[in-house]
Amino acid sequence: MLFLEFPISGDLRLPLLIMEWIFITTGFEISLIFLVRYFKQEKTLRNLQDVGYFTLFFGFSLMWFFFILGDYFVPDNIVSPFLIWRSGSARAFFLNLGYFSMIYFTMIYLLCVEKYIVFLFKKYVFTTIFLICAILFSILFFIDITITQTITYIYWSSFLFFFAIYLIKFIKKSGKNTILLFSGFFLMIFGFGLTTDALISAFGLEGRMIGAIIQLLSVVVLSYYFLTLPPFSEFDWQDKIEAVFLVNDAGICIYYKVFSERKDLVDENLISAAITSINIMLDELSETGEHQHGISVLQKKGENVIIYQGQLVSGILYTSEELNFPKVVLKDFVDKFETLYHNILIKWDGVTDIFKPAEIMAKDLFHK
């Protein structure tokens, strides 16, 4: 076993510091890309999983920032008393700040992910477990900063368990570049392991250097994977689409398409008439009592009807779950239909053949 002194000194100090700094700079940059991606999306489409990944990368980089402060720039001598503690060292203090930030940022990540995905048997199971862990960690942190490191190993093992379940679910949904995702996370875990105090004692600073390089590589691989994925809001939504209808101002169904084979609907003309009546009622319910252009959602158990009232036609979408993305797609469909057929809709002679191309449009937009 090697005896290691902190702050790190010797020939490897500077190269190691530079490598770890590059790694955390890249991590911060990637976290910001997720944040920008979140804010760049339309408000209704924003998915908190982007914020989740921002907090995960940001927390990880911030943790490493504190590790750098602790390992390179402050002494490791145990002093008694130390700030508010009976004893402690400056290094232990900064390492704890690192653990602290990672634990709480990870919890935000879990909260964001569990908002959309149910793990095990109930929503927010892992968030609750990790919140308890975080509170326990905080209590220990205020009692003795020299014993918290062991707790973090338990924390990391639990997080890995969560991540394994998450990855299996995620890969089933995204279904591509599985190797890239797995190798990214494997590299991250392996690289991080090499930088822990336990393994530095076994392999020395050379091992830590290799660990930092591997982690840098993993951050690049993972960011490439996540940033080339479509927005989180676009996963799965097409499976939930059941039928789409277009109804003109007079209440005539000008186009309809049923996507779900299981869907048993009443006659399209009845639906058109019903939707027109609902539109009139919705207009009456509004404060101005005037014709409103916008999205309305009618919800019953297991059935959602999204209505978008355009200028000349209304779009109706049947979905099995209330999702945000189909609302935007319906709006796009109606807007495009109106733009394409603007001149025809104004003086429509009742012939529906002219709307045949809408079939291709609907298939492109709503069908997988």
Partner 1 sequence: MLLQLNTIQEIELLFYLTATILGIQLAIFFFYRYYKIRDERLPLNMILLLFGVFYLFFIFSDFILAINRLFILDPILTEIIYKFGYVSMLLSTISLLFFISIKEFSKIINTKIAKCLIIINVIPIIVVILLPSSELFTFLIVTIIISAILIYFLIFQIKLIKTSKGIIKNRLLLIFIGTDLNIISLFFVLEIIAEFYPLNILIFMGISLLMAGLIIVLLGVNSFPAFYELKWKENLLRLLIIDQKNHASLYSYDFSELKSKHEDYKRLFSGGITGIDSILSAITKTEGEKMNKIKQADSLILLEYGTRVPLQIAYALIVKEDLDSNRFFLKTIKNQFEAFYKEILSEVDSFIGSEEQLFGSFDLIIKGLLY
SS3 161: helix
The residue (of 235 and 256) whose beta carbon lies closer to partner 1 is 256
The residue (of 264 and 364) whose beta carbon lies closer to partner 1 is 364
Residue 341 within binding range of partner 1, rule CB under 8 A: yes
The residue (of 103 and 358) whose beta carbon lies closer to partner 1 is 358
**CB 26, min distance to partner 1, A:** 7
Residue type at 366?
A: F
Question: How open is the CA angle 189-191-195, to the nearest 5 degrees?
Answer: 110
Residue 354 within binding range of partner 1, rule CB under 8 A: yes
Q: Which region among 91-99, 134-142, 320-328, 348-356 touches partner 1 (by CB under 8 A)?
A: 348-356
**CB 15, min distance to partner 1, A:** 11
The enclosing H or E element of 299 equals strand 295-300
The residue (of 1 and 351) whose beta carbon lies closer to partner 1 is 351
| Spatial separation of the C-alpha atoms in residues 140 and 348, rounded to whole Å | 74
The residue (of 29 and 234) whose beta carbon lies closer to partner 1 is 29
**Cβ contact 366:347 at 8 Å:** no
Could you tell me the end-to-end alpha-carbon distance of the chain, in angstroms, rounded to an integer? Answer: 57
With CB under 8 A as the rule, give the number of residues binding partner 1.
25
The residue (of 112 and 329) whose beta carbon lies closer to partner 1 is 329
Instruction: Give the number of C-alpha atoms closer than 13 A to the C-alpha of residue 225, restricted to the C-beta side.
Output: 22
The residue (of 73 and 190) whose beta carbon lies closer to partner 1 is 73
Residue 349 within binding range of partner 1, rule CB under 8 A: no
Question: How open is the CA angle 5-8-13, to the nearest 5 degrees?
Answer: 145
The residue (of 132 and 344) whose beta carbon lies closer to partner 1 is 344
Residue 99, burial from CB neighbour count under 10 angstroms (0-12, 13-18, 19+): buried
* Choice from 2, 18, 143, 270 touching partner 1 (CB under 8 A): 18
For 8-20, the DSSP string reads --STTHHHHHHHH
φ/ψ of 118, rounded to 5, equals: -95, 125
Q: Which region among 204-212, 238-246, 274-282, 355-363 touches partner 1 (by CB under 8 A)?
A: 355-363
The enclosing H or E element of 321 equals none
* Choice from 15, 75, 294, 357 touching partner 1 (CB under 8 A): 357
Q: Which of residues 24-83 bind partner 1 (CB under 8 A)?
A: 25-26, 29, 72-73
How far CA 90 is from CA of 69, 99, 200, 333, in Å, comes to 9, 14, 20, 60
Q: Which region among 11-19, 46-54, 169-177, 287-295 touches partner 1 (by CB under 8 A)?
A: 11-19
Residue 339 within binding range of partner 1, rule CB under 8 A: yes
Residue 213 within binding range of partner 1, rule CB under 8 A: no
**Site map for partner 1, 281-320, x if CB under 8 A?**
----------------------------------------
Residue 12 within binding range of partner 1, rule CB under 8 A: no
| Spatial separation of the C-alpha atoms in residues 132 and 137, rounded to whole Å | 9
The enclosing H or E element of 118 equals none
* Choice from 4, 12, 22, 220 touching partner 1 (CB under 8 A): 22
Residue 17 within binding range of partner 1, rule CB under 8 A: yes
Question: How open is the CA angle 362-286-339, to the nearest 5 degrees?
Answer: 30
**CB 172, min distance to partner 1, A:** 32
C-beta contacts of 308-311 below 8 A and 24+ residues apart: 308/334, 309/279, 310/334, 310/335, 310/337, 310/338, 311/338
Residue 353 within binding range of partner 1, rule CB under 8 A: yes
Residue 356 within binding range of partner 1, rule CB under 8 A: yes
Q: Which residues make up the interface to partner 1 (CB under 8 A)? A: 14, 17-18, 21-22, 25-26, 29, 72-73, 339-344, 353-354, 356-361, 364
